[in-house]
Structure 1
């Protein structure tokens, strides 16, 4: 396209048009959530659909279509720029925390929110806007989307493969340790009460024996009751012993039943505890507790929180979490087999060997060895971190990115999907590459990924209750967003201009793609991962502080991004 000079008003219009489209989609998701059409469960299901199906198709399609071996340098620049952005965001979070002395229970969440950026749905939506088609061709905009996909792949690698998504958990880790200590103390006290009850049982049994001693050894013959004239059967010593044992057992059973009833009165049942943990509601008959829980519990927290499972040991954060979900809510089965199943098998085998040791040893010698397990080998050689990284490559987005890069960087593979200059291969009857049907499929499915992601973002913002926001944190959130949306774009423009000066960045779409990445707010995933590690019960400090950050961010984002785009188009790109 021939470069033409644009007026300032035209540059402003081109800059605002993609932002207006983003806000219209966000407003639609906001209204759907307020009308109850985007419940937390539906948001979770649709988000899982986007992450596991739509985004992988988008990643594969854009990478194979617009990335080649000639873009290796740009891929390295994207990785370098991502690390630079994370470092800048982390520095800003530390400055806000110590400058405003914010709540210490939101320290790690603040660092997590300030470092992760929304480089997927927002950036891709802006690059796909028709407003930018006035200065860029379709191929150039497609290449810009592919750069955004590489940015997204780098962030997914850091969050999932390196385990940085668990950073918000350290805000509540100390509380979990304290509650674990309290549970241990309560268990000890219950054990002490149990010993006292056992002592009481022994006294009652001695009393029962004394009563039985007074009643035993009657005279043989007919015995007449004092209260009635009924004639009783003659006494038999064997029957008397049976009567005594039955009387003692009945006394003991009564005591056990009374202790069980008192224990149930003192502590809620296991079913009610589980229901309260995972639903946020109590099964008690009183409505006051239910109302209090409903008023203090966020819907997202009730839907996503796994703190109770971490607290009980059902989830080990040091092992890979579930793979095929948008937000992991459990350990991956491959990792659980390393210790849990082996320990259960070992316990069962030891119980068997105690009964038949000789036979089992012979059978073990005769049986072949078990199959090799890479997971067991890694954990036995203290390489669990390597297994953690490798297993997370099984995520659909990671698989699509790796396959896309493999097909894009190898020319003889890429030509099977798209046309490539300098290489020739026999085409199909429609004069298209043989495997172009896969590109059609991924392109068709990927069209729904960004709109659905923005709808979910609007619905998630709607779930932030203004009444529960931490207004003491409001100054800190304003300062953080001023840094992220005003200061970081200035640093980003200077950084990109330096890359242009040294010849690393050449095309206008490369410059604009890098600049936009510096000017977007925090990632939407921060909301989900913070809800993941926020306790269901008690004050939810983390979600209150995070909510204020997002409310302020999307009130400022409209203006700040318009200024950044206008300046970049008019001043840097020379339009």
Structure 2
């Protein structure tokens, strides 16, 4: 006898409540100013460097075995099919709906990436861990399958260079600006030749991402102990950088006189300046703004320009097409255009990728697996009657505990930082079409696909069926916000790309509360047959 329908409905609704309570916690704490952008960035890096690799090692070694090879292959095939389907439908939506397509105001590449990639790990793992219709072993096995989906996501998004779609819009904008400047250049040379040298010197003093005059004055207004600390200097500059949008150096005849004037003003009004700086800091903390996010991740900022390539690959948020071009400088690589292959291999340096490779090797070789968990293979136990290397697995289990809650919390923090200032006319049609496809139509495609794999006897594990249906019903990936911010100019007062992406994410994550429980209920009753 199957599980009664009311119990199935409750089992489908309960996990979404817990998940959104964590998201709401991150949202509220960010709105109240308790979570800064630098804090979320540090937490995100820690998740990628420690917590997620620990989760991968724990679940893969403990719950994947040589008998799951066929299931892993079907999951990889399912992910490839889903990404191809997403690409085709998203291309049609972008073509037929009023997505911004002007060269100087474009969001074609961003819309394509948002339509293709989905949030593959935190949401489904959080959902699984709160379900009461499955046993603990089944939930852990499902988590291991989710990690295989995460692997396919990383391969497509980063190893294969799909992140470059975000750059497409900004590259078109730069090309349009360069063409307009080249057309105006002869007129400038003919009519304003005497002033050209002054303008050039002026521009050298005021690059878009450099420190503004007001931020220089804020450095001088800081206490002497802060000026001696480079980290304090950097944070002070960053916190006052919002003044640069109102008083950029390019509007001041000379940055040095302004700096001297600010210094004299600081000496005469030290206390008032410090109080003003303090009030500005508090206003920034209490009113989170998407501009803070852009300043933290933008490659235009001085402290984001020289990030080592290895660190870019690990954190994943500052990658660009230049990293692919510079992945190898050997003549034979350039001759045969093997940059993508070298970049693909270098991306395997990610902690997640390294741990996954070693975990699969251990899990698929019974004698190695027996060193960590009890198997049918004979292996002498340690004095505590546990496998000899079980303490390593216990370490991974302990370190993996914060991974999913922190991931969900960061989603709420990110949503709390997003703001929609200006939306292009008619863009809502694109958002509605894409939301309906991703959260309503794509789950139906996924259920039909799983049913076909089940009838062909390719998918036999109920947890693999459930996880596959779940993966087809997820919203767009939030990491695209960081990829977009890294390409943006902090002084842009109307960030079109962030505005469009913010509306995409807000609508999808709001609608998910309704769509996911429905998909789960149908999957449990008609696909898994519990």
TM-score computed with the length of structure 2 as normaliser: 0.79
Cα offsets for 1:536-557 (capped at 9, x unmatched): 3443221111111111112210
2: distance between equivalents of 1:16 and 1:296? 32
Match of 2:33 in 1: 36
Match of 1:145 in 2: 143
Match of 1:162 in 2: 160
CA 1:323–1:275 in 2, change beyond 3 Å: closer, same or farther?
Answer: same
CA 1:60–1:183 in 2, change beyond 3 Å: closer, same or farther?
Answer: farther
What's the CA shift for 1:188?
8.6
CA 1:7–1:544 in 2, change beyond 3 Å: closer, same or farther?
Answer: same
2: distance between equivalents of 1:485 and 1:259? 55
What's the CA shift for 1:117?
1.0
2: distance between equivalents of 1:144 and 1:546? 30
Pick the aligned partner of 1:455 from 399, 409, 412: 409
Pick the aligned partner of 1:300 from 293, 303, 306: 293
What's the CA shift for 1:391?
0.7
What's the CA shift for 1:570?
2.0
2: distance between equivalents of 1:168 and 1:555? 24
What's the CA shift for 1:382?
3.4
Match of 1:322 in 2: 312
What's the CA shift for 1:315?
9.4
Match of 1:173 in 2: 171
Match of 1:529 in 2: 483
- Report the secondary structure of 1:551's partner residue: helix
Is the deviation greater in 507-516 or in 174-183? Answer: 174-183
CA 1:263–1:511 in 2, change beyond 3 Å: closer, same or farther?
Answer: closer
CA 1:296–1:31 in 2, change beyond 3 Å: closer, same or farther?
Answer: closer
CA 1:321–1:381 in 2, change beyond 3 Å: closer, same or farther?
Answer: farther
RMSD across aligned positions (CA): 3.6
Is the deviation greater in 538-547 or in 452-461? Answer: 538-547
What's the CA shift for 1:377?
5.5
CA 1:285–1:164 in 2, change beyond 3 Å: closer, same or farther?
Answer: closer
What's the CA shift for 1:66?
0.6
Match of 1:205 in 2: none
**Counterpart mapping for 1:306-345 below 5 A:** 306=299, 322-328=312-318, 339=329
What's the CA shift for 1:191?
8.7
1:389 aligns with 2:325: no
Is the deviation greater in 278-287 or in 138-147? Answer: 278-287
Pick the aligned partner of 2:426 from 472, 477, 489: 472
CA 1:541–1:289 in 2, change beyond 3 Å: closer, same or farther?
Answer: farther
- Report the secondary structure of 1:101's partner residue: coil
Is the 1:48–1:326 contact (alpha carbons within 8 Å) kept by the matching residues of 2?
no
TM-score computed with the length of structure 1 as normaliser: 0.73
Match of 1:485 in 2: 439
Cα offsets for 1:273-298 (capped at 9, x unmatched): 5236995652885899899xx99973
Match of 1:354 in 2: none
- Report the secondary structure of 2:34's partner residue: coil
| Rg larger in structure | 1
Match of 1:282 in 2: 244
CA 1:189–1:88 in 2, change beyond 3 Å: closer, same or farther?
Answer: same
What's the CA shift for 1:61?
1.1
- Report the secondary structure of 1:298's partner residue: helix
CA 1:153–1:336 in 2, change beyond 3 Å: closer, same or farther?
Answer: same
2: distance between equivalents of 1:321 and 1:177? 29
1: distance between equivalents of 2:305 and 2:402? 38
1:545 aligns with 2:500: yes
Pick the aligned partner of 1:7 from 4, 9, 15: 4
CA 1:10–1:562 in 2, change beyond 3 Å: closer, same or farther?
Answer: same
Match of 1:501 in 2: 455
Is the 1:89–1:114 contact (alpha carbons within 8 Å) kept by the matching residues of 2?
yes
1:106 aligns with 2:110: no
